[in-house]
Chain A
Amino acid sequence: MTVLLSALDQILSFTHFIYLLGGVLVGLVVGIIPGLGGIAGMSLLLPFIYGMEPSVGLGMLMGLVAVIPTGDTFTSVLMGIPGSSSSQATVMDGFPLAKKGQAARALSAAFMCSMIGGVVGAIVLSVFILVARPIVLSFSSAELFMLTLLGLSVVAALSGGNIFKGLAACGFGLLVGSVGSAPATGEFRFTLGIDYLYDGIPLVVVGLGIFALPEIISLLVQNKAIASTPNKLGHGLKQGIKDVFQNLPLVGKSSIFGSLVGAIPGLGGSVVDWMTYSFAMNSSKDSSQFGKGDIRGVIAPESANNACASGSMIPTLLFGIPGSGSAAVFLGGMLLLGLQPGVSMITTHLDLTYTIIWSLALANILGAVFCICFTRPISLLTYVKFSILAPIILTLILFAAYQATRSLGDFIVLGVIATIGVLMKDAGWPRPAFLIGFVLSSGAENYFFQSIQFYGYSWFERPGVIIIALLILLGFVLPPILKSRRKAQKDEDQATEKALPVTSVTDLILILFITSAGAYALFKIWDMSTLTKAFPLIAIAIVLFSCIALLIQRYKVKHQKVATNIRLEACYIIGFFFIACGYYYLGFISTTFIFSLLFLSYLAKASWLKSLIISFCLVVFLLVMRHIMHIDYPEGFLDPYILTPIDKIF
């Protein structure tokens, strides 16, 4: 207890506080800019770390790690771009809320939850870390595999009306996730001889392609502001905070769940938001508004992701096994400070551990306060005509995608995934199912083979495995029962709403596309060694089975045909490929300028002065990022002419 308090005393000292604040500010900025997350922020701070007083340096790093899941909410809610992988689920309801003109409400609720989640996470961490070692060790590969299954079972809840669409999307995600080296053998699959695919497809690119680009395209097609229904902004802020207090039990449960999932190494924070999202959906009385702008869809994942960042410190500090991407970089920072993770962190260095925990709590509070201050001015952006924002957002997306591997491949794969995303959005397929399949693919495969190799087939007799299996079953059985009970009560209200399931040409295109992708994968993988092909075969089986089911459904069940905008959307996708090539071959900075200027003045019909100012600001932003973060852009033909003189001056 004395250690706990003396650590508190220490972080409230002036130097410590200033450095912590510095970390928080950097964390917020990199959190807000999509594509940059903890890793980019850390690379900004690491050069200063070496030789620093450990407690001060740790405070600064912790400030940064803690607030990234807070800051990344801005773009998720306002633009539908997941700011980092931990806020993907926030997009589901946050963005529809912004479209309804309730951006301020969604944001303030999110920040409030982030703060509570972070503080709860810190409390859980301070108690749990002392006893966590045996518990973390009891999660073997078998339990981890079951946890990935638990994550996958979320797909059922997210599938909307049609379970086969969810299954097909998820199976396809699993298949796309298996591109690259096979964990059990190290052999490479589905690389088509392209270097880019050897590492597998980066999560950032998939997230941006499946969510952000399709949203932008559909907004461009409609050509209006993000927020279509006007709303009095003044209500938003307070309403959001009120929402949080009305849903405190949900906040609490999500936070505790988040910090515990974070504590288990190897699962990663990128699914915890989906798990809590589906939990919120399953446990609510009326889940019909989820995906259309239910505030609980923002509250649950946002409480969980900050808590998860706290929880992920447990395996990082105790075992040196980072629980997330930014925890991995935090670990690097610890090593630079001359600190080694391990048992010593709860014995000889317990004071430092408590410094970390207090910093975590303080940073979460500071981060949320800052964000809430900025909420009102920033959420006004949603009232700007969208075509004005489009070039800015597109540049941000390309910038974010390019940070994944810094090659042309990032742009091309982004375009391909976006095409799938547009088709899925158009045909009403659950895009989160695809993403979850993709995220959990490698974990599911890896832990499955590891548990079989370590335990033979007796692994499913382990108590942990059985408990998680029961949880999964409960997740399947409970919601339908609850729902049918409720339905019985309000049957009269819903009777009128029942309409025929809809279908469109896009549906058929998508089914055929995914089926042929599956068939091609089957052909490619057939001759590989057993351990290499086993998992993709399962994914292919899921894909083919559900596609056939969908085809049968299509011809057996009566559908209502609807027209779609797919032709126009296809034009935009083709346009995207051209622009992306321009960014790569002409030079990122010069294309940003030219494209924004032309787009704004001709398509958005903005005045030349306005277009010039916006384009110029974008270029300045890119140049500043380049200078501070040492980021290289694709230079192409034109950029050297701009960059050489600039480099000479600075």
Chain B
Amino acid sequence: MKKHLKLLCASTLIFGSLLTTTVKAETADIPSTINWTIPFGVGGGTDVWARFIAPYLTKYIPTHPTVVIKNQPGGGSITGTNLFYQRARSDGSDILGTSASTLFPFMLGDKRVRYNFDKWMPLMASPTGGVVYVQPNLGVKSAADIDKLNGVTLPFGSQGPTRLELPVLMAFEMLGLDVKPVFGMKSRGAGRLAFERGEAKIDFQTTSAYLNSVEDLVKNHKAIPLFSLGVMDEDGKIVRDPAFPNLPTFQEVYFQKYGKKPSGNEYTAYSKFLAAGFAFQKVIFIPSNTPNDIIQAYQKGIKEMLKDPDFIKDSIVQIGPYKNIVGINAAKHLQEATKISPELYAWVAKWLKQKFDYSL
């Protein structure tokens, strides 16, 4: 009898404590401070993006946590991301903000990369687009005249063969343009300056930089836009960029020139790096073993944030007229983009070696 009583007491206790924990879990135990690791320096593109979003996160996550931006620059974001991979707590107090330069080294098998995206879940992705433009003195008025560029050497200021320009360099090659990249530009902005000086004959900028600095050049007949890189729709298809509805996409220009759709290894590689570099230009990650209710609280908060009219207004200024990607589709497309088969990897490695004498 005594034994039974003990057992009963114990089981009530256990059950009771279980009950209380489940009750607790329903109100999502989000820590009062969220550390948002940004593996880049203060004032850079990803940092500014995060600082723009942070106050809205505080506003829309139910418990209104303080969001602290932790800059951990180094190795073009590899250092900070590695640290996050090792140390991030999975109680919802740690999130990560990445950019193309976090995804590319992972895809290219950089020796320094010790992270992998299996352990993380994307909460939100901010896409961007990009436009390719040329000097007006080449006799080209639009992409329709692209054949006039045959045989013309086009210097192009680039940061490096494995940087954001990687898919753009592939696009140039597929279009048969004789582009001569000059590496070592400190930023895309430095590449634009080389274009403005007339040193570079072809250039490419992401949407916000294009809208702010190149559109003036176009108006003053100092630059001719050729094509945009397009944006990815919800099914993963490339469509015209809403910021540049009058510009053809790369795919359209390719079709116009060759009368067929692009395909093959190079196009597969192009599509993957394009998705990683542009559709998933900036991503918020959370460790996937964070308790479900906390992740859901984040997701709910972000969804509400995206509906905030102030956020939408500022977002157009900061990011461009693009829809931030959330939900399961985001995770699926991101996984597809970052998965590189061994054959494709071998192809990319060979291409980099042949074209730029760059060894992976």
Contacts and interface: CB of A to CB of B under 8 A. Distances in A.
A331 B42 CA distance: 10
Contacts of B74: 199, 405, 407
Given A47-B51, A50-B52, A449-B184, 19 more contacts: A42-B42, A49-B51, A50-B55, A138-B197, A140-B199, A183-B184, A184-B184, A195-B79, A198-B112, A266-B190, A319-B193, A321-B189, A331-B43, A332-B44, A340-B212, A446-B184, A454-B200, A529-B357, A531-B357
Interface of A: 39, 42-43, 46-47, 49-51, 137-138, 140-141, 181, 183-187, 195, 198-199, 265-266, 319-321, 328-333, 335-336, 338, 340-344, 405-407, 446, 449-450, 453-455, 529, 531, 630, 632
29 contacts: A39-B43, A43-B71, A46-B51, A50-B51, A137-B193, A137-B197, A138-B197, A140-B194, A140-B199, A183-B183, A184-B184, A185-B161, A185-B357, A186-B161, A195-B75, A199-B75, A265-B193, A328-B41, A328-B43, A330-B43, A332-B42, A336-B51, A338-B317, A340-B213, A342-B216, A343-B216, A407-B79, A454-B155, A454-B200
B182 interface: yes
B197 A140 contact: yes
B172 interface: no
A46 B42 CA distance: 9
B47 A332 contact: yes
Contact of A342 (B75, B212, B317): B212
Interface string B55-76: 1000000000000111111110
B1 to A, nearest CB: 46
A340 B320 CA distance: 13
A329 B42 contact: yes
B112 A195 contact: yes
A620 B43 CA distance: 29
Given A39-B42, A46-B42, A450 B182 contact: yes
A336 B52 contact: yes
B48 A336 contact: yes
Nearest to A532: B357
A340 B207 CA distance: 13
Contact of B196 (A39, A137, A336, A449): A137
B148 to A, nearest CB: 22
B359 A187 contact: yes
Contacts of A331: 43
A140 B359 CA distance: 30
Given A185-B356, A450-B184, A630-B68, A335 B318 contact: yes
Contacts of B190: 265-266, 321
A220 B158 CA distance: 49
Contacts of A531: 357
A320 B210 CA distance: 12
Interface in B63-94: 68-75, 79
Contacts of A330: 43
B314 interface: yes
A335 B319 CA distance: 11
A343 B217 CA distance: 10
Contact of B155 (A183, A336, A405, A453): A453
Nearest to A453: B182
Contacts of B15: none
B206 interface: no
B43 A338 contact: no
A629 to B, nearest CB: 11
Contacts of B44: 328, 332
A21 to B, nearest CB: 22
A183 B208 CA distance: 26
Nearest to A138: B197
User: Which 9 pairs of residues, A with B, have the shortest CB-CB distance?
Assistant: A332-B43, A183-B184, A329-B43, A186-B160, A340-B212, A43-B42, A454-B199, A453-B182, A446-B184
Interface in B166-199: 180, 182-184, 186-187, 189-190, 193-194, 196-197, 199
A508 to B, nearest CB: 37
B347 interface: no
Contacts of A42: 42-43
A265 B44 CA distance: 17
A321 B193 contact: yes
Contacts of A332: 42-44, 47-48
A417 to B, nearest CB: 18
B79 A405 contact: yes
A39 B41 contact: yes
A186 B358 contact: yes
B162 interface: yes
Most A C-beta atoms less than 10 A away, residue of B162, B184, B187, B208: B184
Contacts of A265: 190, 193
B151 to A, nearest CB: 18
Contacts of B55: 50-51
Contacts of B79: 195, 199, 405, 407
Contacts of A338: 314, 317-318
Contacts of B184: 183-184, 446, 449-450
Most A C-beta atoms less than 10 A away, residue of B69, B74, B163, B180: B74
B201 to A, nearest CB: 10
Nearest to B184: A183
Nearest to A315: B193
Contacts of A184: 183-184
B324 to A, nearest CB: 18
Contacts of B157: 450
Contacts of B160: 181, 185-186
